[in-house]
Amino acid sequence: MTAGAVLATLSLLSQMYGASAPLMECMSWHESRHDVMAVNGDYVGSLQLGSEFWEEVVPLYLADETAPHREYVRAHNTRDDALAGMIVATWAVAHGYRERWSANRLCSEVAGGAEVIECH
């Protein structure tokens, strides 16, 4: 998946889940430069999801009957699946888990939906 595809996917998921697209884009930039193959120790993907985060948040996501991609995540329940990772991360940010990312501090100025300048 290209960086452009990551940006397009995060934009669409942000609309669906009610997360700030500029925030998601900025976090992806700071975590991995939009690289879905990025690995840093236990953290993988464009949003650098750790195993502890995945084990905690995925059951919450799957229990949310309003989440539109539950069946996809259930079938592709691994942090290594780029789309599943972006789905779960976007849902998590929309549900108050954005503090779990170190990039959140760097991207806090765009959280309200302001245009991302330095993150592209």
Distance (Å, whole) CA 84 – CA 54:
11
Confidence of residue 102 (pLDDT cuts 50, 70, 90): confident
Q: Does residue 117 surpass a pLDDT of 50? A: no
Share above pLDDT 70 across residues of the chain, in percent, rounded to a whole number? 91
The DSSP code for 117 is S
Query: What are the C-alpha distances in Å from 109 to residues 30, 62, 118?
Result: 14, 30, 11
Angle between helices 51-63 and 82-94 (to 10 degrees): 70
Give residue 114's pLDDT. Answer: 42
pLDDT average, residue stretch 15-40: 95
Global confidence as pTM: 0.89
Q: Does residue 71 surpass a pLDDT of 50? A: yes
CATH architecture of the region 3-110? Orthogonal Bundle (1.10)
40-62 burial, b at 16+ Cβ within 10 Å, e below that, comes to: eeebbbbbbbeeebbeebbeebe
